[in-house]
Amino acid sequence: MCKIQKDKFLSEEQVVNKMNEELKKLYKTVILKNNNEPFAFEKREEAEVVLEAYNQICGDRFRLFFEIENDKIVNLSFHGFGCAISKASTSILVKHLEGKSLIETKDILKSFLNVINPEGIKEENIEEDFQAFEAAKDFPGRSKCATLSWDALKEYLEEK
């Protein structure tokens, strides 16, 4: 259940029904497409960096594979399993971060995570791919799905 207004609870289905048509369209085109046809969905055990993104509550588990060359993330791919939101979100991460510098990567991570965060600052010119996940912030359980791989990469970069 999602609390929208004081003493008024809406089911996930009711909230989704209230989403504007644009978000519904984005959900269908971005999330479903990236779930069914994920970007760079392949195991690369030989990768220099292998990150594990795991949600103990629901069992979603993805591994990110990449190298860092000249301060850029390259050969980025992922593999694993999870719900449509976590898989699509990880696909979007790979699509947007391949070839980016570490500084650009941190900015993109911040931008995506800000879209999902209920207290996040509303940014102008949000990537359309990111907007598709905006509704997840109304469902705390689903927001973890959307941020799973992003949080794992953010944590890795903070430790680096």
Domain assignment present for 152: yes
- Structurally, the chain folds into a number of domains equal to 1
Domain assignment present for 13: no
Domain assignment present for 101: yes
Look at residue 4 and tell me whether its pLDDT is greater than 50: no
Domain assignment present for 103: yes
Domain assignment present for 69: yes
Handedness of CA 122, 35, 99, 159 (dihedral sign): positive
Domain assignment present for 62: yes
Domain ranges, residue 108: 37-159
The answer, as to whether pTM is greater than 0.85, is no
Look at residue 136 and tell me whether its pLDDT is greater than 70: yes
Pseudo-torsion of CA 80, 81, 84, 90, nearest 10°? Answer: -20
The dihedrals phi and psi of 71, each to the nearest 5 degrees, come to 65, 25
Domain assignment present for 8: no
State whether residue 124 is helix, strand or coil: coil
Above pLDDT 70, what percent of the chain? 79
Categorize the per-residue pLDDT at 121 as very low, low, confident or very high, splitting at 50, 70 and 90.
low
Q: What's 105's domain CATH number?
A: 3.90.1010.10
What are the pLDDT digits (tens) for 38-74?
A: 999 999 999 999 999 999 988 999 999 999 999 999 9
